[in-house]
Every structure is written in structure tokens, then in C-alpha cells.
Structure 1
Amino acid sequence: MWIRFANRFRRLSAALTCAFLALTASAQSNLLNVSYDVARDFYKDYNPLFQKHWKAQTGETIELRQSHAGSSKQVRAVADGLEADVVTMNQASDVDFLAEKGLVARDYAKRFPTNASPYTSTMVFIVRQGNPKALKDWPDVVKPGVQVILPHPKNTGNGRYTYLAAWGYALKQPGGSERTAQDFVSRLLKNAPLFAAGGRDATTTFMQRKIGDVLISFESEAELIAREFGKGEFEVVYPSWSILTEFPVAIVDKVVDKKGTRKQAQAYLDFLWSPAGQENAAQNYLRPRDTALLKKYAQQFPPIRTFTVDDTFGGWARAFPTHFKDGGTFDQIYQLK
């Protein structure tokens, strides 16, 4: 009698343990966000906000993991099998690459507001305190003897935006043409003593290694530099024209369907447009899409004339092969550097 009771108790205990483990597993999930190099600080602040929101809404604990590097390196890794639930990049051409591979929906830009870009930025000049070379606008950074630090335009979104910002500026000048723009960008690249591996590597080169007279980077990077190195170490210069930078996000369909994390991935990206997500963008010096918040933070976002990849270059679908694919204008210029 006692033996039968003990056996029954053990079976019941085992069943309850299995049920508990199954319940625990169902109450947890994990997402991998594969992103570009300088986004790490933004998502370091954003992820706890979303985890708190998701826990309150669903009772589920969600683990969020990050991967950061140069944008093109990241999307190649995803294409090669890195199981990202979502990608949060800094230019559409990288997400388009994943769409061509069948990993991301071709209409990803229509699946979220504002062309799937929850915030914007622009390219600015970060110069040493006192601006010893008196760098005020694009013509100043192409002068002989000025060292320009930027990431590699072939491999990074940061570098491509810098290249296109200079090209677009040249086009907008009196008599501007594709020929004058190519000559202008050629002079810019000749002033680069090296190409950094990514945006954060460019910052390290400029701030820690003390190489270069000017770092060209996202406006948001200036505040991150201030947090790490202090505001007395540099100044930010806004050129007369720059490029509007957008940051598209997308769900990696094949991964979320395999893992069963589509609901979580959708919510994770949707939350970028929430009041808390937009506030976090502004606090990380990214220009929010929320017009009221943009007005609230107007002091840290001075007005600047910008052009877009779409209106100046016909979109990334044209700009990328023209300028950055093998044999494009970047290669033609760089061979002559």
C-alpha cells in the first residue's frame, strides 16, 4: 500500500514538475536585434523600457540580445545564418539586401509608420575644441592638409551617408553636376588618412587615438562622445547642407516563424513609435518623428537644411549600385586616391 502511494506521489510530482517547466518556458522568450555600430547606446536604454512594457502588458519575461557592427557586415551575417528576430539598420539598402534574400518582406517599409524609420538624424562635423582648422562647411573639409575621419563608404552606412552628403552638397552648388560632385568627393576621400571599420571605431580613432582634424558622423554621435569624453573635448559644426539619415527596421520573417516570436518581434519594433520609444530617441539625440517631442527638444536639434537619398539620388535602389557596388563611383575615385 505504502509503495503504491509513494510511486503515485512520484509520478504526480514528476508531472507537476514538467508542467511547471513548460509553463516557465512559455512565460519567457528571447529576441536578437542585429543593428549597426553606433546604435548600441540607444538600444541599451530602449530595451529595459520595452521589457517593462511587455511584462506589464503580457506577464511574459523577454530576454533581449544585441549585436552591433558595421551595417553591411551585420546584414551579411544575417544572410549567412545569424538568427536575428529583427534588424534595426541605418539605411534602406541593407534591409533591401535581406529582402532580396527572402529573409525580410519586400514591403517591409509599409509595415511600420514613417517608412519604417522611427527617427532620423543627419551628418555633422565634430572638430577639436576651438576648431583650430576653422572648419565651417563642406569646402573647408576638402582643403589640402585637413585630415578627415570617416568609416569605410563601401561597408558602413555611416560612411555611405558621409559620401552622399558631400556629393549632394556639391550638386546643389551653382553649376553643380555629377562631374563636379565626383571631383569634390574625390578631394574629400584624399583627405582621409584611413577608413574606420564602423562609426564607433571612427569615434575611437578621432577621440582616443587623436587622429584627424574632423570626424564626420551622425548628429547623435556627438552626444555619446560628450558622455564618454566630456563636452570640453570637441565642438559640433553644422554644415550649410547635409543629408537626412533614416533608420529602417524590419522583422526577419524566416527566423520569427521558426522560433515562434513574431508577436514579440512586432511589438518590439512597434514600441519604437510609442511615446516612451520616441522620448528615448530624443534623449539619445536622434530626431523623433513625434512633432511635439521634436518641438520640446528643439534646443538640441538646431534647424539644418537637408536633402534625402530619394530626392537627390533616386532612392537607395539607384544610389547603392551607382556609387558603392564593385566598379561604382567609389571604386573609380578610390583607385585614383
Structure 2
Amino acid sequence: MRVWISALLLAIAGTASAQQTLLNSSYDIARELFAAVNPKFQAHWQEMTGEEVSIKQSHSGSSKQARAILQGLKADVVTFNQVTDVNVLHDKGNLIPADWNTRLPNNSSPYYSTTAFLVRKGNPKNIQGWADLAKEDVSVVFPNPKTSGNGRYTYLAAWMATSDRLDGNEDKIRDYMAHFLANVAVFDSGGRAATVTFAEREIGDVLISFESEVNNIRKQYGSDDYDVVVPKTSVLAEFPVTVVDKVVDQKGTRKVATEYLNFLYSEDIQRLLAGFNYRVHNDTVVKETADQFPPVKLLEVADYFGSWADAQKTHFASGGELDRLQAKARSLR
């Protein structure tokens, strides 16, 4: 009897370990992407180990996701769209090591993008680049940089592209940024809400988002209604990922969580990522998709602001550059 009970307990324990659950905390416009990735990983994990894994998703603006984790959300992995929202998990929660971005290739960013524009069909306002977004008759939609990594990329891309165009003249850059911000019709909290504002509420002449997202939106809402404009100069937008060490060690999910992130670098998933209009690193897939992605001069945040931490402090902290520019923008409306 005792032997039978022991065998039963072992069987139950084996079943439990074979049905681990991962929670992936991600930015809000990544729902469809990971809905496609997750079944492929489940099949891969079962083939690799004979075990089943359940994968749950949590989506919102990446800064909101980071705060939720600090407040107790038990995410095994994060797949964010900005480095600062990952760094905060170390800086304010000691949930990951300081060198988390050295654990996987390409600064732990399996894919990347840039910032681009979605305009109404025919591009009636003739928006070609960042300079056009400060014109008086242009209405702009993008997420709030205070709550969205997507929004911070847009703001910094506008600043950097203007700096590149104006040879770093800060007075002229600030004047441009004030007019650019004065043209913002709606500051939604995240990228998905901004999409709804532009495509469903039909507000604005241009939606600014990741190149991947504007192409996906055009496909979803109708290629006959929208055009995509990729500016010749824009920001390098990396998509950093990491296991949340404190959580995976508590839950015993480190092995499956680590493999989940490694899987994003596999050739098949790099090809899937390219299918969602993300730029990737795999040489074979890069060659296959060369015609899909127009050439862009990609500017790096560290080259203009010192680091993401410096940009965060200087531009997005309370009373920082963004707040001052918005105050000026209000006077221009």
C-alpha cells in the first residue's frame, strides 16, 4: 500500500512538473505576435522534453507592466520594448541582475524595429519625414511617453532626427519639439489605444508607432485606407527580453523560461517575427526579407543622450524636458 501511494505521489508530481505555467509580461501591441509564437514554443518544448507548458500573457504599456511586476505580478519572462523598463526590475526590485542584457545575443534583443508613420490613403498632408510633423495643419497621434516605451521611442526619435538635421542646435531642436508636441491630438497610455484612436475613432492625420506595428495595422484595418511612411532617419528600437530571476527561482521555471527566450532567436521564429514586420538578426532571414524593409539611418539613444537612464532622467522625469516642452506646446495651440 505504501509503495502504491509513493508511486501515485511520484506520478502526480511528474504530471505537475510536466504542466508548468509561464507568464510572459509584454508591451501592449504584442498580443498577436505572441499568440503566434506560443503554440510553436509549446510544440518545441514538448518535443524537446516530453513535457507540456501553459503560457499566459499580460499586455499593457511596458512601463505599466514593469510597475505591475514590482508590485507582485509573477511574470517569468518579460518581452518589453524598452531597456529602461527592464532595468527598473533590477534598480527598484532586485528581481534581475544588473548585467541581464549580456545573457542573450544582441543586447538580449532578439528582434528590433524603428519608428514609422501610418497616414491616411494617398498621404493627403504629404508627410515624408519628421520635419513635416511640426507643420500647423498636421494632427499627430502617439502614446504618452510617460507611460509607454513606444511613446518614449517616438519622442526621442523626433528629437534625434531633428538634431541630425539641424546639426545639434538645441534651441532649434526645442522649438521643433514644442511645435511637434503642440500637434498631438491624443496622448493615449499605450500603443494599442493609440491605434484605436487613429483607426477606429478616425482622429489625426498620422499615427506614429513602431514600423512593425504600422504595417500590421495597415494590414488589419485595410491597405486601401492607409499608407506607411518610413522616414529616412529614425531610432533603433530594440526589444529587450529577460527571465525574471526571482520569480523563476521561486516557481522552478528557470529552464523552460530560458528556453522560451532562446527560442525567439531560432530561424523559424526569426522568420515569423519578420512576418510581423519586425527586423531580425538571423542572416538567412535578413537576406530573405531584404526587400521588405527600406533602408533607414538608425540612430542610437546612447549616442545622443548618454544612456537610456540619462534620457529617462533628463527628459521623462517629473519636471524634465518633456514637461517643459509640453508647457510650451500648450501655449502654441
Say yes or no: TM over 0.5. yes
Post-superposition CA distance 1:172-231 (Å, at most 9, x none): 124432222222111111001220111111111100100000000101112321332121
Q: 1:162 to 1:52 in 2, by over 3 A?
A: same
Partner residue in 1 for 2:267: 275
Q: Distance in 1 between matches of 2:119 and 2:39?
A: 33
Partner residue in 2 for 1:39: 30
Partner residue in 2 for 1:107: 99
- TM-aligned CA deviation for residue 169 of structure 1: 1.1
Decide which of 99, 102, 114 is 1:122's aligned counterpart: 114
The farther-off stretch of 223-232 and 293-302 is 223-232
TM (normalized to structure 2)?
A: 0.95
Partner residue in 2 for 1:51: 42
Q: Is the Cα contact below 8 Å between 1:151 and 1:159 reproduced in 2? A: yes
Does the alignment pair 1:64 with 2:55? yes
Paired residue total: 328
The farther-off stretch of 139-148 and 178-187 is 178-187
Q: 1:227 to 1:238 in 2, by over 3 A?
A: closer
Of structures 1 and 2, the larger Rg is shown by 1
Does the alignment pair 1:254 with 2:254? no
Partner residue in 1 for 2:256: 264
Post-superposition CA distance 1:232-291 (Å, at most 9, x none): 110011212111100111111110010011111111111111112211211111001112
Q: Is the Cα contact below 8 Å between 2:301 and 2:307 reproduced in 1? A: yes
Post-superposition CA distance 1:139-194 (Å, at most 9, x none): 11110121000000111011101100110011112443222222211111100122
Decide which of 170, 188, 200 is 1:178's aligned counterpart: 170
Gaps in structure 2 of 5+ consecutive residues: none
Does the alignment pair 1:210 with 2:175? no
Q: Is the Cα contact below 8 Å between 2:166 and 2:172 reproduced in 1? A: no
Report the AA paired with residue 145 of structure 2. Answer: P
Report the AA paired with residue 237 of structure 1. Answer: V
Report the AA paired with residue 9 of structure 2. Answer: C
Partner residue in 2 for 1:82: 73
Q: Distance in 1 between matches of 2:4 and 2:109?
A: 51
Partner residue in 2 for 1:198: 190
Does the alignment pair 1:20 with 2:11? yes
SS at match of 2:20: strand
Decide which of 282, 291, 296 is 1:290's aligned counterpart: 282
Q: Distance in 1 between matches of 2:172 and 2:284?
A: 40
Post-superposition CA distance 1:78-121 (Å, at most 9, x none): 00100000111111111111111201111001011110001110
Q: Distance in 1 between matches of 2:180 and 2:218?
A: 26
Q: Distance in 2 between matches of 1:79 and 1:138?
A: 36
Q: Distance in 2 between matches of 1:218 and 1:184?
A: 21
The farther-off stretch of 225-234 and 15-24 is 15-24
Q: Is the Cα contact below 8 Å between 2:42 and 2:52 reproduced in 1? A: yes
- TM-aligned CA deviation for residue 47 of structure 1: 0.8
Gaps in structure 1 of 5+ consecutive residues: 1-7
Q: 1:175 to 1:249 in 2, by over 3 A?
A: closer
Does the alignment pair 1:325 with 2:317? yes
Q: Is the Cα contact below 8 Å between 2:41 and 2:263 reproduced in 1? A: yes
Q: Is the Cα contact below 8 Å between 1:71 and 1:94 reproduced in 2? A: yes
Report the AA paired with residue 119 of structure 1. Answer: Y
- TM-aligned CA deviation for residue 335 of structure 1: 2.1
Q: CA RMSD in A?
A: 1.4
Does the alignment pair 1:160 with 2:160? no
The farther-off stretch of 290-299 and 120-129 is 290-299
Q: Is the Cα contact below 8 Å between 1:92 and 1:316 reproduced in 2? A: yes
Post-superposition CA distance 1:53-84 (Å, at most 9, x none): 11000001000010000111110000010000
Q: 1:226 to 1:323 in 2, by over 3 A?
A: same
Does the alignment pair 1:301 with 2:287? no
Q: Distance in 1 between matches of 2:25 and 2:146?
A: 19
TM (normalized to structure 1)?
A: 0.94
Report the AA paired with residue 217 of structure 1. Answer: S
- TM-aligned CA deviation for residue 16 of structure 1: 4.8
- TM-aligned CA deviation for residue 334 of structure 1: 1.4
SS at match of 1:326: coil
The farther-off stretch of 212-221 and 271-280 is 271-280
Report the AA paired with residue 29 of structure 2. Answer: V
Report the AA paired with residue 157 of structure 1. Answer: G
- TM-aligned CA deviation for residue 13 of structure 1: 6.0
Q: Is the Cα contact below 8 Å between 2:131 and 2:162 reproduced in 1? A: no
Partner residue in 1 for 2:134: 142
SS at match of 1:235: strand
